[in-house]
Chains A and B, each alone.
Chain A
Amino acid sequence: MTLEFPIYLDYSATTPTDPRVVDKMLPFFRNRFGNAASRSHSFGWTAEAAVEEAREQVAKLIGAQAKEIIWTSGSTEGNNLAIKGVAEMYRAKGNHLITCVTEHKAVLDPMKNLETQGFEVTWLPVDSKGHIDQQQLADAITDKTILVSLMAANNEIGTAHPLAEIGRLCKERGVLFHTDATQAAGKMKLDVLEQDLDLVSLSAHKFYGPKGVGCVYVRRKGPRVRLAPMLDGGGHERGMRSGTLNVPGIVGMGEAARLAREEFDQEVPRLIELRDRLDTLVRQRIPDVVTNGDPEHRLPHLTNLSFPYVEGESLIMGIRDMAVSSGSACTSASLEPSYVLKALGASDELAHSSIRFSLGRFTTQEEIDYAADCVSTEVMRLREMSPLWEMVQEGVDLSKVQWTSH
């Protein structure tokens, strides 16, 4: 099999739309173009039926009822709606929310926004693997707490929070639990009943659906969760999210959810095998590789590695045949390392040298073998060029060196 370049290993950023999903969507751009809210003719009825079928499929992916799915444009909107919608709706009950420092910006920024409006937010720290302390979470809950928002799995390092345990705690304490499951959907078991989830954000393009469509699961029973809408308008989606439905996108998300559910048992073990193969091959060829996050409890398709003594941007430059993400935003003048890696206690230097590899449905073993070769060769080439590597070989302790600031 011939390899096509560049090799895509950034499935956590986005996935290609599965061809089967595209096929399912196409008629809804063409003859089945109706508005799902049109009640007076068959164009509308056809669109509505397709939307409801998709709602059923998405609900099944997370063990929910179809009526509990509210369509959105994606997880940034879903997280905003869940967090701000709860805050506004339950303000009379309390003004306290809890989250953690390694959440996605689409959770952190709505929380920061609420802080400016009189809400109080507890920002839980994480340990070196990216886990919160559950006792600390339990202790943070007060009679003013209305929401806990913790992601199912982290987008940079893949660390998975124990949803069922957190869900049980929140339920016992009468606090709503929102989880951003954007990265976990289709890769980890999600069940709103078993895990006591009250609100879940999902995004189609992370599991082979199209971009620009997502949903929020909003629990209807035990407890019935209510959200203040962010958009006022036609009262679509039980009044929680007005706006004409993106019918082709929704149809695509439904089909993507069906495939994710039906192929889960084949796909996930295959991803784990390939990801572990990459980890093993890289470690066989490169000394001193650091795994960021929790190697035990993490997403099946992702590994985040740091290559000490090599700077991340130069490494990305050297592996141009591969599409991967770096934990260092060193193209900016301020040179900001990843806040997630910083929260784990990683040094700036280690954060600068990190690469996230995320695999997917169309990743092959040949691609993984090539990737391991390519990374190993380039890391060793750059280390031969690195004064830090040279010092370490000479027995110098880098932490004791007096560096010149610039």
Chain B
Amino acid sequence: MAYSDKVLDHYNNPRNVGSLDKSDASVGTGIVGAPECGDVMKLQIKVDDDGKIVDAKFKTYGCGSAIASSSLATEWLKGTTIGEAGEIKNTQIVEELSLPPVKIHCSVLAEDAIKAAIADYQSKNGQPATDAAGSSTTA
């Protein structure tokens, strides 16, 4: 199947691959997906005292579109606030990467991973879960 140039770019040069210390209170970790489905994404954010995301890292087991979706998500997350991050929609990822219909689930997974990371950060810091960090949607 043909991949868009942007998917290929993220696949060949993924941004922000790696891990943050998950026991650090300022770090939120989201792990979504399942190996038997062919995709697992781990997305982490490091948040400063002002609620700003100062770092983001990912690791993804999945197809090129899944890797690109999570790589793109970390790029967008850096420098935003928790509130803004919760607003990121899978459709924006689909548009940016020109994902075909069969790969939309990759973008949904990336959105779920962002929300799961935010929820983890908020629960660690005794904050109520916002609507944005609510239950994940299904692909």
Query: Are A385 and B59 closer than 8 Å at their CB atoms?
Result: yes
B42 within 8 A of A: yes
Chain B nearest CB from A308 CB (Å) reads: 9
A3 within 8 A of B: no
Chain B nearest CB from A323 CB (Å) reads: 15
- Chain B residues with CB under 8 Å of A330's CB are 38, 63
> Which residue from chain A places its CB closest to the CB of B3 in the assembled complex?
A317
Whole-angstrom distance between the alpha carbons of A313 and B64 in the complex? Answer: 7
Query: Are B38 and A352 closer than 8 Å at their CB atoms?
Result: yes
Whole-angstrom distance between the alpha carbons of A311 and B106 in the complex? Answer: 13
Whole-angstrom distance between the alpha carbons of A59 and B71 in the complex? Answer: 57
Interface-facing stretch out of B11-19, B47-55, B74-82? B11-19
- Chain A residues with CB under 8 Å of B31's CB are 387, 404
A348 within 8 A of B: yes
Q: How many residues of chain B have a CB within 8 Å of chain A? A: 36
Whole-angstrom distance between the alpha carbons of A313 and B62 in the complex? Answer: 8
Chain A nearest CB from B116 CB (Å) reads: 8
- Chain A residues with CB under 8 Å of B36's CB are 347-349, 403
- The B contact surface, by secondary structure, is mixed
Chain B nearest CB from A197 CB (Å) reads: 39
Query: Are B63 and A390 closer than 8 Å at their CB atoms?
Result: no
Q: In chain B between 98 and 139, which residues have their CB closer than 8 angstroms to a CB of chain A?
A: 101-102, 105, 108-109, 112, 116, 136, 138-139
- Chain B residues with CB under 8 Å of A352's CB are 38
Query: Are B32 and A385 closer than 8 Å at their CB atoms?
Result: no
Query: Are A314 and B63 closer than 8 Å at their CB atoms?
Result: yes
Among B34, B40, B66, B108, residue most surrounded by chain A Cβ atoms (within 10 Å): B40
A117 within 8 A of B: no
Query: Are B101 and A406 closer than 8 Å at their CB atoms?
Result: no
B69 within 8 A of A: no
* A387: contacting residue among B14, B61, B102, B139, CB under 8 A: B61
Query: Are B61 and A311 closer than 8 Å at their CB atoms?
Result: yes
Given contacts A404-B136, A406-B34, A406-B138, contact A314 B11 (CB under 8 A): yes
Whole-angstrom distance between the alpha carbons of A328 and B1 in the complex? Answer: 13
* B63: contacting residue among A313, A386, A387, A403, CB under 8 A: A313
Query: Are A406 and B33 closer than 8 Å at their CB atoms?
Result: yes
- Chain A residues with CB under 8 Å of B60's CB are 385-387
* A406: contacting residue among B11, B63, B108, CB under 8 A: B108
Give the 8 A-B CB pairs with smallest separation, nearest first.
A403-B34, A387-B42, A348-B36, A349-B35, A313-B63, A387-B59, A386-B61, A317-B64
18 A-B residue contacts at CB 8 Å?
A309-B61, A314-B67, A317-B3, A317-B64, A328-B38, A330-B63, A332-B102, A333-B102, A349-B35, A387-B42, A388-B35, A403-B33, A403-B36, A404-B112, A406-B34, A406-B112, A406-B136, A406-B139
New A-B pairs, 7, CB < 8 Å, besides A331-B1, A385-B59 = A314-B62, A332-B102, A386-B60, A405-B34, A406-B112, A406-B136, A406-B139
A interface residue numbers (CB < 8 A to B): 309-311, 313-314, 317-318, 328, 330-333, 335, 347-349, 352, 384-390, 398, 403-406
B interface residue numbers (CB < 8 A to A): 1, 3, 11, 14, 17, 19, 31-42, 59-64, 66-67, 101-102, 105, 108-109, 112, 116, 136, 138-139
